[in-house]
């Protein structure tokens, strides 16, 4: 087992919500962060090229910080590239999936909402999770790509566009008026927990909000129980300049980003 930090990876800043969950469980855990902001958003890329890109960026970031565990804090990257990452890297790789199972357990009305990106909502992998763990539930799927943009802008210091948020969330609010009424929401994109206080304040009814952060933290503890130590870190890597994110990254304990050199891939 290597003794380096845990590396969080996402296409943007969504992985910071997972980093926050890990720090709640392991306050002394050394962590680094890498985001592929040069290719954000991932939903616009074809799957084959994107999968190769994710492996290339993660390998460069793992080498840069000598990570001992990689956390793929991105649903799209997890569904596409976990197999390739595990075949390429010699460290544990922990992925992210929408928290359908715990949401189904929490729902009293048996009506849950999946708030995610279009790519995650439409993937067969997501439907398989619903079939396996929420087959007795009504599941309202809401593609809310606008929330990703809002979270990225908000972390950089821009004000939130409440009208745009409400428009994206309207199908969710409408489902709370159905019979049975929606009572539990899966935050199926790691960007969305960053906005959770705002989502709670906008909701017309009290809801249970579920994300994958705690489950990922527990999994990291299982694959790397010896990593909890006082080794300092906080390094951050991006694939394009990201000065606008410096203050937001610092809020989550990460230093000013360093530019990551990534090997060119075919089709990029």
| pLDDT at position 230 over 80 | no
Give 158-214 pLDDT, tens digit per residue: 999 999 999 999 999 999 999 999 999 999 999 999 999 999 999 999 999 999 999
Q: What percent of the chain has pLDDT over 90?
A: 82
Q: Grade residue 45 by pLDDT with cuts at 50, 70 and 90.
A: confident
Q: Residue 259: its pLDDT value, please? A: 95
- DSSP state letters, 6-27: EEEEESSSTHHHHHHHHHHH-T
- Catalytic residue IDs: 74, 189
Q: Residue 91: its pLDDT value, please? A: 95
Average pLDDT, the chain: 92
Among the residue ranges 147-156, 176-185, 188-197, 229-238, the one predicted with the least confidence is 229-238
Q: Residue 196: its pLDDT value, please? A: 96
The three state secondary structure string of 215-250 is HHHHHHHHHCHHHCCCCCCCCEEECCCCHHHHHHHH
| pLDDT at position 47 over 70 | yes
CA dihedral sign of residues 267, 260, 6, 215? negative
Q: Residue 250: its pLDDT value, please? A: 94
Q: Residue 141: its pLDDT value, please? A: 97
Q: Grade residue 252 by pLDDT with cuts at 50, 70 and 90.
A: very high
Question: What is d(CA 192, CA 123) in angstroms, rounded to the nearest whole number?
Answer: 18
Q: Residue 42: its pLDDT value, please? A: 83
């Amino acid at each position: 087992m290597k003794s380096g930090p845990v590396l969080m990876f996402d296409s943007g800043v969504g992985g910071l919500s997972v980093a926050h969950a890990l720090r709640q469980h392991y306050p002394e855990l050394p962590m680094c962060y890498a985001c592929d902001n040069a290719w954000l958003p991932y939903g616009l890329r074809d799957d084959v090229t994107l999968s190769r890109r994710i492996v290339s960026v993660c390998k460069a970031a793992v080498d840069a910080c000598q990570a001992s565990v990689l956390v793929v804090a991105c649903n799209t990257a997890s569904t596409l590239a976990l197999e390739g990452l595990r075949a390429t890297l010699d460290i544990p790789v922990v992925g992210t999936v929408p928290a359908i199972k715990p949401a189904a357990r929490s729902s009293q009305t048996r009506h849950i909402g999946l708030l995610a990106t279009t790519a995650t909502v439409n993937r067969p992998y997501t439907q398989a999770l619903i079939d396996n763990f929420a087959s007795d539930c009504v599941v309202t799927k809401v593609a809310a790509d606008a929330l990703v943009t809002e979270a990225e802008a908000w972390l950089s210091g821009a004000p939130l566009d409440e009208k745009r948020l409400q428009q994206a969330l309207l199908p969710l609010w409408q489902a709370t008026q159905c019979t049975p009424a929606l009572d539990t929401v899966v935050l199926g994109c790691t960007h969305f927990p960053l906005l959770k206080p705002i989502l709670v304040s906008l909701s017309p009814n009290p809801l249970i909000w579920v994300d994958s952060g705690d489950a990922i933290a527990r999994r990291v503890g299982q694959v790397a129980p010896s990593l909890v130590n006082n080794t300092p870190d906080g390094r951050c890597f991006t694939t394009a300049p990201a000065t606008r994110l410096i203050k937001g990254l610092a809020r989550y304990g990460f230093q000013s980003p360093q530019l990551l050199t990534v090997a060119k891939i075919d089709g990029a």
